[in-house]
Amino acid sequence: MIKHLKGKYLTQGFLIVASVFLFSFGSSETKVYICKGPSSKKYHLTPKCRGLSNCSTKVYETTLKEARELKRTLCGWED
């Protein structure tokens, strides 16, 4: 019985942590950074991401929602 309760509480704790994580990164208000160069396809979690080092334009701050609407995906250096 004790093992079952431990597992139950650990599972609930994991679900709470996972929900908070997904909410914080899935929020439409989450700030991300993009390059508006002609071949840019990614968004970045920090303006100093290694993936932005070759940006041919200014680095712009935007929302995660807008970046996704522009068909941007998360930079491979940050996943």
Domain ranges in the chain are 2-74
| pLDDT of 66 | 97
Can you tell me the distance from the alpha carbon of 62 to that of 66, in angstroms, rounded to the nearest whole number? 7
| pLDDT of 19 | 43
- Say yes or no to pLDDT of 7 above 70: no
pTM of the entire predicted model: 0.64
Cα 7 to Cα 2, 16, 17, 19, 20, distances in angstroms: 9, 14, 15, 18, 20
| pLDDT of 3 | 46
